[in-house]
Every structure is written in structure tokens, then in C-alpha cells.
Amino acid sequence: MSTKKQSGSGYVEPGQDYQRDENYITDRITADGDSRWPVEAGRYRLVIARACPWANRAAIVRRLLGLEQAISMGICGPTHDERSWTFDLDPGGRDPVLGYERLQEAFFARDPEYPRGITVPAMVDIPTGAVVTNDFKQMTLDFSSEWTAFHRDGAPDLYPEHLRAEMDEVIERIFTEVNNGVYRCGFAGSQNAYDKAYERLWTAMDWLEERLTTRRFLMGDTITEADVRLFTTLARFDAVYHGHFKANRNKLTELPAVWGYARDLFQTPGFGDTTDFPQIKEHYYVVHADINPTQIIPMGPDTSVWLTPHGREEMGGSPFGDGTPPGPPVAGEVIPPEHGPGGIGHR
């Protein structure tokens, strides 16, 4: 998720459709050594914010694959200003590994005149303190394909070769119509732009409802990269997108197949235990001051519903196929119980 250069809240262009800036640093960290950035345990730091859906995806894949010991993780707080995400959750307000107060410093270490948005997730080269890549789409695929030497025993194959052609099409539709579709609704600059965005989003949500009625996961019987990419939008849907972004034809809880599927994933290790509802709400309702000028953060919704039985196991399949679930989150990366689906009011 990006921070804007000109202001912390200028996301809506009056009279315009929302257009996402997708010009990222596309360097890759590779196992073959052909790139300037070789795979090397302990060399890189993944910087995320739990509020951001794109960063949440990277945290989930890292955890599912067991890369915690190979790739350390820095966590920014949920809000930012025009200068970028800050490490305000850390003692002294500095990342303990990079020593930075702001993620912006890693981008400026790469390019002192870096002109674009400062985004998470970002992979940072610890020796130089410079950002390597913020290309969130490729990043998680590389965790699966380039970091195999450091995968845990029983790690799932999230991007299986025999499914890639179909999965790439599913992933692209999910990104354009759902992941970005909710933003297209929320940041629409005119009634007409919003109306078109709303219809596109719900056409895709109806497609997902139909698809997930007959299969446990998006690609069949096991979890793949496609499920990770969809989950982080679904986790934010009722808490943020339904009201804040006006994506309000239905709540997630009113879509039987999608809601059962979302709970199935949430209750699988790696998904719900990387989801921080208060930070999610604080980010959207505070940072997007142009569409929420009071910056008041709602108390609801009741998130205890995420722990109710989903019944999806009756469809067969297994989340990890022949693999195994990841172990508990590592020290320092545990979501506080009061930030999870405790059913309490969140501030």
C-alpha cells in the first residue's frame, strides 16, 4: 500500500476513476545468483504493515513456507503521513535491525531522489539499508520459487506448476476486480465512477460465490497463492470496505460460500494469526481523511464471528495437501489476543 507524495490523505481525484500507481522497483532476489541480489539467509528484511492487504499477503506466505529464520520482518505502525510508514511500534520508534524511523529511508538509500510512493511490503538489503524491491506481486511468488532451500519441512506448494496457467488468470481477475476493485469504489471521484466500480466489484464477488460453492479453495482441494491474495481483501471487507469504501451491496457474512471459505482460511494457521483488526481499521479510517474527515474509528464489527464453524471440511480436500501447517508465530510477531477476533469493541 502506497503513501502519496503530496499528502497523507489525497487519494480521491475529483471527477475521476481511481487509478492505482503500479510502478514498483522490480528487482528480484534469486537463487541462481544471476541477479545482483542472491538468496541468502539473514541478508534481507521484509518490511510490512499489518494494516496493508498487500503486505499482509507477504507475511502470510513467509509464515506458510516457514521462512521466518531466513527472512526477518520489520513491522510499521498502521498510520502514516506524506513521508511514509514509520516504525512507531518499536522501542524508540526505530526498526531494531535497520535503525530507521521511516521506511522512506530505505528507499532514499537506494535512490536519494526516489520520486514515487513509499510502499509496503518492501524487501530491504540489511548490509546497505537499501530497498531491493517493493513489487508485491512478484515478491510472494519468489518466496515460493526462489527461497526453496529455506522452506520448512512440510511447506505447501503455493504455486504448483500444473495449475499456473489457470491460476494466473484467476489471480489477475481477483486483483483487478476485487483486491483493487474495493479501492476503485472507495476512491471514486464521481458518482458515475463509483457506480461503474460498484458493478464491477459485485460481478466479481458473484463469480467468487459461484466458484466457491463447488470447491473448497479457489484452485481445488488445497491452498495456493490465489487464496492468499483473495483472503486479505475478504478479511478487511466487513470491517472497512463495506462501509468506508461503500462496497455495501452485501456484507461478507451474507455470502454463504465466500463467508464459509473466508472463515476456513482464517482458522488455518498463517491466516487469522497474521490479521490485526484494530490496526486495519485505524489505518483506513485515519489515513483516508479525504473520505473520513473526522478520522473517527468505528468500534465494530464484532469479529468473533470469524471463529464460528465454517463446515467447509465436508467438501473434502486439505488446506496443506500432503504438507503440514506451520508452527506457532515466532516471538515478536504474535498478534495480541485483544487485536484478534475477540468479539470485543476495537479502538
Tracing cell 504493515 back to the chain, one arrives at 49
Q: Tell me the backbone φ, ψ of residue 84, rounded to 5 degrees.
A: 120, 175
Give yes or no: 76 in active site: no
For residues 292 and 298, give the distance between their C-alpha atoms in angstroms, rounded to a whole number: 11
> What angle do the packed helices 191-213 and 256-266 form, to 10 degrees?
80
Give yes or no: 52 in active site: yes
What secondary structure letter does DSSP report for 233? H
Q: 338, exposed or middle or buried, with CB in 10 Å at 0-12, 13-18, 19+? A: exposed
Catalytic residue among 183, 194, 261, 284: 183
Catalytic residue among 11, 18, 44, 52: 52
Question: What is the four-CA torsion angle of 289, 293, 296, 298, rounded to 10 degrees?
Answer: -80
Estimate to the nearest angstrom the gap between the alpha carbon of 274 and the chain centroid: 10
Question: What are the residue numbers of the active site?
Answer: 52, 183
